Structure 1
Amino acid sequence: MKTLLLARHAKSDWGLPGLADHDRPLNDRGFRDAPAMAHRLVDEGVQLDLVVTSTATRARTTAAEYAAAFGVDLVEEPLLYAASSGAILAIAAAQPGEAERVMLVGHNPGMSDAVAELTSEFVDLPTCAVAECLVDVGSWAELIEGSGRLVRVRTPRD
C-alpha cells in the first residue's frame, strides 16, 4: 500500500503584468496558507518520504514548505507544470520504490482530474488543498487509473 498526496499550489499573485505564468509568485494569502497547511499535516500525523513539485515558482514555493516541515527531499519535475491528469499519474508511477508516501505539488485542472482518475471521485481542489489517496499497489510502477481510494481532502479553510 502506498500513499499519494496530490497538492495544488497555494494562492498566487496576479498583480505583476507581463510576468510569465511560470514565474508568478505566491500572494500574501499563499505565503500564509502554505506553511500553515504543511504544519497542519505534520500535526495530524501524516507522513511523507518525498515531495515532487512543478518547476513553476508558486508550486516550488509551496512544495518547499512541505519538504521543510517533513524534513524530506524536494525534487523538481518540469513535466508537472500544466500537466494533464495522465501525466501526473505517470509521474507518480515513476517514483522510487523506497518512497512509501509521496506528495506531488502542481496545478489545476490536472491535480483535480488526477484525483478523479485515480480514485473515481471528483473533487475540485482549491488553492493549497491536499488530497490524500491510498493506492493499493506494491510498487509505484503498478499505479493505474482507478487503483486509489480518496481518504481525505484538506483545505486551508477547513
Structure 2
Amino acid sequence: MKTIYLFRHGKSSWKDAQLSDFDRPLNKRGKQDVPFMGQLLLYMNVKPDLWISSSAKRAWSTAKRVATELKVGKENIIKMDRLYHAEPETLLQVIQGLSVTASSVILFGHNPGLTELATLLCDYEFTDIPTSGVVGIQFSKAANWTDVNFHQGKMIFFESPKNNSSAPE
C-alpha cells in the first residue's frame, strides 16, 4: 500500500514586485499557517518516508517549516525543479518514479496542478486546495509506485488552516 500527501505551499508574498514568481517568499500568514499544519500532521501521526518539494522559494520554505514540526531534517527533503507549476501528468510521472522502499511520500507544490492531481487520483472533486492545505490519498492496491495511477486512490483526509478552528488568523 502506498500513501501520498499533497501539500500546497503556504501563502506567499507579493510585496516585492521585482521578484520573479519562483522567488516569492512566504508572507506573514503563510509563516503562521504552515507550522500549524505541520503540528496538525504530527497530531495525526503522519510520518512520510520520503519528502519532495518544488524548488520554488515558497514551496521549499513550506517543506522546511513542516519538516521542523515533524522533527525531520531539511537535508532529507529532495528539491525538484520539475514540480514548479507542474501539470498533473508530470506530477504522476514523478510519483511513479519514486523509490520502491518508501511507502509514503509528502509532495510540496503548487496549484492548479496539485488540485487537479488530487481530483484525478481519488475521483473527489476538489475545487481548490488552499494555501497550506494538505490532502492524504491512499492506494490500497499499489505495491509499487509504478502501480499508482489516476482514479485508483482513496482520500483519507483533506485539511487546511481554514478547516481548523484553532488555526492562526
Equivalent AA in structure 2 for residue 85 of structure 1: P
Among 130, 141, 154, the residue aligned to 1:149: 154
- Matched residue SS, 1:12: coil
Task: Kindly provide the amino acid, as one letter, of the partner of residue 68 in structure 1.
Answer: T
- Equivalence map 1:1-158=2 (5 Å): 1-70=1-70, 71=72, 73-123=76-126, 124-136=128-140, 137-157=142-162, 158=164
Deviation at 1:133, TM superposition (A): 0.2
TM-score, normalised by the number of residues in structure 2? 0.90
- Give, as a single letter, the amino acid of the residue that structure 1 aligns with 2:109: G
**Distance in 2, Cα, partners of 1:81 & 1:118:** 19
Secondary structure of the residue aligned to 1:105 is strand
Percent of residue pairs identical = 33
Give the number of equivalent residue pairs.
158
TM-score normalised over the length of structure 1: 0.96
**Hey, what's the Cα distance between the residues in 2 that align with 1:78 and 1:57?**
11
What letter matches 1:109 in structure 2?
P
The offset of 1:36, in angstroms, is 1.1
> 1:104 aligns to what SS in structure 2?
strand
Segment drifting more, 38-47 vs 12-21: 38-47
The residue identity in structure 2 corresponding to 1:151 is I
Deviations 1:113-154 (A, max 9, x none): 000111111211000000000013001111111121111101
Structure 1: unaligned runs, 5 residues or longer: none
C-alpha deviations, 1:86-107, integer Å up to 9, x for none?
1111111111111111011000
Give deviations 1:5-64, integer Å, cap 9, x for gaps. Answer: 011000000110121000000000001111111111001212211210000000000011
Tell me the distance in 2 between the aligned counterparts of 1:67 and 1:44: 15
Following superposition, the deviation at residue 68 of structure 1 comes to: 2.7
Structure 1 position 66, deviation (Å): 2.2
